[in-house]
Structure formats: C-alpha cells, structure tokens
Structure 1
Amino acid sequence: MSQTPADVLAEVRGHVGFITLNRPRAINALSLGMVRDLLAQLLIWKDDPKVLAVAIRGSHKEGVFGHFCAGGDIRFLHQAGSTGNPELEDFFTEEYALNHLIFTYPKPYIAFMDGIVMGGGMGISQGASLRLVTEKTKMAMPETIIGLFPDVGGGYFLSRCPGAVGEWLALTGDTIEAAEALAFNLADAYLPAAEQGALWEALGAQQFADGDAVHAFVQARSQPHAPQPVRDVQQINRIFALPTVRDIISALETDASEWAQATAAVLRKRSPLMLFVVLEQIRRARNMGVAEDLRMERDMVRHCFYLRPGQSETVEGIRALAVDKDHNPRWNPARIEDVPEDLWKAFFVSPWPAHSHPLAYLKD
C-alpha cells in the first residue's frame, strides 16, 4: 500500500537543512499541518549545531522549484470561518508564530522564491536572511481580493518598501516580478531559474565553517539585479501617499492616465471596508517591530471573522473567488464612500488584554 507523500519534506545534507514544500496541486498553499511541520522542524534545527543554515523551496506538478507558495489554504479558512471550527484560531496564531521565528532565526535561512510567491508564501520567505528571486517570480500580497488584509507580517515588510509602494501593493494586490521585488526591498538577489537546482545540490555537498560561509556561498552565485524593467514609482508615490482611501480613489478617478484608471477600477472591486483597514495597517506598522506588527495582525484577523457575526468580509470574499466562483462578492458596506470610521477603527482594538494575547511572548 503506497503512502501519501508528506506536504513538507525535510532533510539534512552536509551542514544545511533543506525544506521542500510538497503540495503542488494547491501551489503549496499552507495548511495548519504544514505550518506545524515547518515550525517544529525549524525549532529542531535552531538548536542543532550540525545545521548551520536552512534552505527552503517549493515544488510544482512536474517536480521541484517552479512555484514557491500561493498563500494560506483559503478553502479551509472559508470552511472554518463558516462553521466555527476552532482550528481557524490555531491556524493564525501558529502561522504568525512561524513567521516570527523566520524573521528572528539565528541561522541563515535562504528562500528560493521561484514562481508564485503570494500571501502566506511571503510570510515564510520575507523574514529570510537571503531572498532569491528568478525570472519566473510572481510576487503579491493579494488579500484585499478576498476581503482580508496583507497579514503574515505584511504590515511590517510592505511598510519597509520605498515611498508609498507598500500602500499600493497592499491596497491593490498587484503582482510584481523579480526586478521590482529587488528594487522594493522584497528580495535580496536574483538567480536564473535554471541555476537553482545546481545551487541547491551544491549547498548539500559543500563543507562550510559556519552559517556566514553558507550565506556568502549563495550570495556569490547570485546577482544583485534582475534583467527586467522597474517602473517609475513617482506616480504611485504621489497617489498612494495621500491621507485617506477616499483621497486615493478620488485622485485616481480624476487622473486620465491608463494606469490611474485601471488602478481605480481595481480598488473599486476590493472590499471597501478592508481598504480602510489596510491603509491604516501599513501606516501603523511603519513604526512597529515585527513582533508588535504580528500581534496587531492577530487582532485584525480575529476581527475579520468575528467582528460582525454572519457578516465576515473574508468569508464572503473567499466564497466569491474560490467556492462559488461567481466573482461577485457582496461587500458590506458596498461603496468606499459608505464606510464609517468607527467600523474600520474597530479592527485595531485588541480583543485580548496585553498579558493574555496569544502572541504575547513574541519579542522584537
């Protein structure tokens, strides 16, 4: 009787711990089980003196690499959010703990960010000490499409993008490629996709004195720039640095340029409520460490499912995109102009006293 292969494959070769996300049919979308496997494995290697560094990659239907991770398992989120499954709470608490561990990992953690890198995939790669992108990288935080916000530390890493690029990426969910990921502080080095396999194998075959030597070995075999264009972000900065969502949509809709009109149309499709929440999230997070940001996001995600019983923007957004697939979410409120201030501000009130917060123990 054949066994089903694990969704997370882990092995040590030489001085490096290797992780392969192995759920290709779901583009390696993270389940609660995968989050737990990753967290457990990283904690073991953290204290293992034989492991000097960690490398992580994804897989696709034809083999390894190809895609990194498309995010969290949104079908599970819909099911759990619709039925009151308590594993919903566990998923976010443990996923954010995993994100924090990666951001604070004491050893080099090298992420091979090939193909699709979105949502939860960003959460397990943005904290890496070396973030490698390829010519096939498609990177985004598209949560506003499903009535969510860029979580998994998204407030922290998007707010560190130059200018108002973080606001633009967070609100629109637009996709960028390797060169822009590098320019926007969301990647560290470029590696042609065809060279990933050889570098991965070399990491397991080399002898290294310490973790710094592993890091240097990879850095020497990658490039600081990617052979792709990078857009001029002056227009993005001018619009997305405006004070409010209403100011942003007004400026876009009165701008006749093709980019502005297309961007306005995108924002009009997103959850109006979550646009206000997301803009506030990014701006608050600029002054936060990663632990504080993750605690804020844990508060916010609790509110996404429970602030208004039976009226979760996230459950409705996932229904429209991935369950019924009618692509016609019934947002409430339906228009940007109708979002009351007290409704979006409620997302930033913690449901827990500070000492009882599920992520109280995280340290910056």
Structure 2
Amino acid sequence: MSDSVLFEERATASGHRIGIARLNSPRSLNSLSRTMISLLEDKLTEWEQDDGIVCVWLEGEGERAFCAGGDIVEMYRSMTPLGEANPFIEDYFASEYRLDYLLHVYEKPLICWAHGVVMGGGMGLMQGASQRVVTEKSRLAMPEITIGLYPDVGGSWFLNRTPGKTGLFAGLTGVHLNAGDALFMGLADVCIPSDQRDAVLASLAAATFAGDETQDAAVVHRCLRAAAAPAPASPVRERFDEINQACDHATLPEVAAALLALKGDDEWFQRAASTFERGCAQTAWLVWEQLQRARYLSLAEVFRMEWCMSVQCAMHADFREGVRALLIEKDGNPAFRYTSIEDVPRAYIEGFFANPLPHHPLADL
C-alpha cells in the first residue's frame, strides 16, 4: 500500500479512538495525487462507519504545507490533444470532488490542521472540515488565475460565503491570506499556535467522548478553543471597504479596471492587482461566472458544475499553457489565448459549463 497518506488511530480516555490522517508527500508540498485521494476516501468512509472513531484529524507532513493543491504536474503529463477527452482528468476531478463532498457532509467531527501553505486542492480539503484550524504560519490562496484554471474544489461554494466581495477578490487576484484573513473571511474557525499541535491532540485523547455526533462535536470545539490564540492582523479586514468598492460593479471589465486602479502606494494591493493583471483572462471570466451561477446552487450542484468546468479547462489551451510556463518549463511567461478580458467571447466561456459526457460522474451526490 502507498505511504503517501499515513493513518493512525489514537485511544481516548473514554475508550474511543481518534482517526489521524496525514498527507505524506512533503517534497511536493503534499500535493494531492490520484492515489492519495483514493486512500483518503476509503479510510474516511471506513472511519465514518466505525462507532469507535469519534473524530478525525487531517494534517500534512512537514512544516511547509498542509497541501499546496492537486498534482498539477500529473495532470499535465496526462494531457491529450486539444479538444479530446482525457479519461485521467475526468476521473481525477470526479474523485477529488467526491472526496471534498464527503468532507462537507461528514457525520463526525473533522478537524483540519491547516498549517503552512494551503492552496487549491488543499483548500478543498480544509473547507470541508467542521473545524478548520489555522496557525501563525498558515498561508491560504486560490491562485488558479496564474495557470488558466479557476478556483475549483468547491470554491464556487465557499468564496460565495465570504464577507462582502472578498471571495470574488480572492478568486480574481489569487491573493495570499494569513490566519487573520482566514478567520475574518469565514475560511477558518480558530487560530492555534503551531507549537501546540501535540498538546491539542493530547487534550483530545484525554477527553471523554460520548459516541454521539452532537456531544462529541462540542467536546472537540472546547478542546480547540482552549488552545486558541489571537491571530495576526488581517490585511483583508483592514482593506475591506476598498475591496468592496473595487469589486462591486455590474460587469467584469468594470471590476478589472477598478482592480488595476488599486496599484498605488499600498504594496499589498500592488501585489494583488499585479497578479490579476498578469493572470489569465479566461480564468477571470470563469471566476466571475462561477460565483454568479452558484449563488443558489446546492453543494452537490456546485461540484457537478465545477467538474464540467475543470474537464473543459483541460480540453482548452490556457490551462496546459499556464502549467507549462509556471510549473514545467518555468519560464514564467504563459502565452494565454486572450490578452485582455474584453477580447474573450461570451460563447467561448459558455462552453466551459457544458458537460462533455453523456452521463455525469457526480450525478449521485
């Protein structure tokens, strides 16, 4: 069996057990391979059905990252000629989103120790957890605009639930968020110092659980809050009014103009606006459309929509070109199809929401 995810069960004072799952690919910042997704889904399903398991702890190996995203390099190697079906991509995204959905609806307390880098697919895992823990070293982002994808893994769901226009801003700019930002935006539940990880696990093991989801969730909540500490200041909170003003326009071109106008003396805004300016115009439209279309969708409908979008991205040129430029050849100069938002045809973006298969692989969610 692969050791890319390590599993452990720890006894509690009440005779129950805590399930611990650790992503174990630190050299790739714990990027999610197809194998890791399968291992997690199988074990989490097993633990959910085991009356002896009262809560689950999900973390990443090493100090650098919880999970930096999906295994984009693996996807790139699977790429087929443009416009052709790609069975690996179809299966990868269906499996990843099925796992993300499982986390969202998990019937036991699920703690995500989101220490270090949390991007893309890592955000998908984190946002499904019932207790999302950040530390002073947490760095969250959905930076897909740099590679021609879009904020998937449920981004249509959780970015639509942030205060004001901060979710749209995060999706368009790929801005890096600290623990304070995550708490302010509702993307995390509690901040705990990173050196308290062992102590928190020890307090959970010393706790008395009841084997009842509601009571056990309260036990987990109290253990985590007992170790909480103030988070660093939130740059997003400090700039909340300016972010809302920039992103509250009727059309994407108007928002784009307002974002570029933020490139003034504020270094934080400069970085965000510059990332947007250099980013993929196709992605900007996908972010705009996904958040508009998903406002009243169910969680299952969100993942079904995103599967179509992701598979379509793999069938179009910008995703592979972005991966090539940033992760494969690393020249940092992607030649995206459209150079400006105004040049992207409406019909072109509509095509990303079409199901390329006669039967949807997530129809049963």
User: Shift in Å at residue 66 of structure 1?
Assistant: 4.5
Q: Deviations over 1:298-328 (max 9, x none)?
A: 010111012x4xxx21111000001000000
- 1:309-324 equivalent positions in 2, closer than 5 A: 312-324=317-329
Query: Which amino acid counterpart does residue 50 of structure 1 have in structure 2?
Result: G
User: Shift in Å at residue 196 of structure 1?
Assistant: 1.1
Matched, 1:114 2:109: no
User: Shift in Å at residue 124 of structure 1?
Assistant: 0.8
Aligned residues: percent identity?
A: 39
Aligned match of 1:243: 250
| SS at 1:126 equivalent | helix
The answer (yes or no) to whether the contact 1:151–1:297 under 8 Å persists in 2 is: yes
User: Shift in Å at residue 224 of structure 1?
Assistant: 7.4
User: Shift in Å at residue 294 of structure 1?
Assistant: 0.5
Q: Deviations over 1:213-263 (max 9, x none)?
A: 442343332437414244231111111122222111222344563346554
| Closer, same or farther: CA 221–295 of 1 in aligned 2, 3 Å | same
Aligned match of 1:220: 225
| Closer, same or farther: CA 288–202 of 1 in aligned 2, 3 Å | same
How many residues matched? 349
Could you tell me how far apart the structure 1 residues matched to 2:116 and 2:273 are? 27
User: Shift in Å at residue 71 of structure 1?
Assistant: 0.5
Could you tell me how far apart the structure 2 residues matched to 1:292 and 1:313 are? 25
Candidates 310, 322, 325, aligned match of 2:330? 325
| Closer, same or farther: CA 252–141 of 1 in aligned 2, 3 Å | closer
| Closer, same or farther: CA 244–75 of 1 in aligned 2, 3 Å | same
Matched, 1:75 2:80: no
Which blocks of at least 5 consecutive residues in structure 2 are unaligned? 12-16
| Closer, same or farther: CA 334–40 of 1 in aligned 2, 3 Å | same
Matched, 1:360 2:363: yes
| SS at 1:303 equivalent | helix
Could you tell me how far apart the structure 1 residues matched to 2:271 and 2:217 are? 45
The answer (yes or no) to whether the contact 1:246–1:337 under 8 Å persists in 2 is: yes
User: Shift in Å at residue 183 of structure 1?
Assistant: 0.3
Candidates 298, 311, 319, aligned match of 1:302? 311
Aligned match of 2:147: 146
Query: Which amino acid counterpart does residue 68 of structure 2 have in structure 1?
Result: A
| Closer, same or farther: CA 289–258 of 1 in aligned 2, 3 Å | farther
Runs of 4+, deviation exceeding 6 Å: none
Q: Deviations over 1:110-134 (max 9, x none)?
A: 0001111111001111011100100
The answer (yes or no) to whether the contact 1:8–1:22 under 8 Å persists in 2 is: yes
| SS at 1:199 equivalent | helix
- 1:56-71 equivalent positions in 2, closer than 5 A: 56-60=58-62, 65-71=63-69
TM-score under structure 2 normalisation? 0.90
Could you tell me how far apart the structure 2 residues matched to 1:116 and 1:59 are? 12
- 1:1-364 equivalent positions in 2, closer than 5 A: 6-14=3-11, 15-60=17-62, 65-82=63-80, 86-210=87-211, 211-223=216-228, 225-229=230-234, 230-254=237-261, 257-259=264-266, 262-306=271-315, 308=316, 312-352=317-357, 356-362=359-365
The answer (yes or no) to whether the contact 1:253–1:264 under 8 Å persists in 2 is: yes
Which blocks of at least 5 consecutive residues in structure 1 are unaligned? none
Q: Deviations over 1:316-355 (max 9, x none)?
A: 10000010000000100122221111111221233345xx
Could you tell me how far apart the structure 1 residues matched to 2:263 and 2:182 are? 27
The answer (yes or no) to whether the contact 1:108–1:214 under 8 Å persists in 2 is: no
| SS at 1:68 equivalent | strand
Q: RMSD between aligned alpha carbons?
A: 1.9
| Closer, same or farther: CA 204–262 of 1 in aligned 2, 3 Å | closer
Could you tell me how far apart the structure 1 residues matched to 2:203 and 2:270 are? 48
Moved more, 49-58 or 243-252: 243-252
Q: Deviations over 1:79-114 (max 9, x none)?
A: 112477622211100000000000000100000011
Query: Which amino acid counterpart does residue 316 of structure 1 have in structure 2?
Result: E
| SS at 1:81 equivalent | coil
Query: Which amino acid counterpart does residue 239 of structure 2 have in structure 1?
Result: D
Query: Which amino acid counterpart does residue 239 of structure 1 have in structure 2?
Result: A
Could you tell me how far apart the structure 1 residues matched to 2:242 and 2:184 are? 16
User: Shift in Å at residue 203 of structure 1?
Assistant: 2.4
Moved more, 147-156 or 75-84: 75-84
Could you tell me how far apart the structure 2 residues matched to 1:256 and 1:92 are? 36
Could you tell me how far apart the structure 2 residues matched to 1:255 and 1:141 are? 20
Moved more, 223-232 or 314-323: 223-232
The answer (yes or no) to whether the contact 2:178–2:232 under 8 Å persists in 1 is: no
| SS at 1:274 equivalent | helix
| SS at 1:132 equivalent | strand
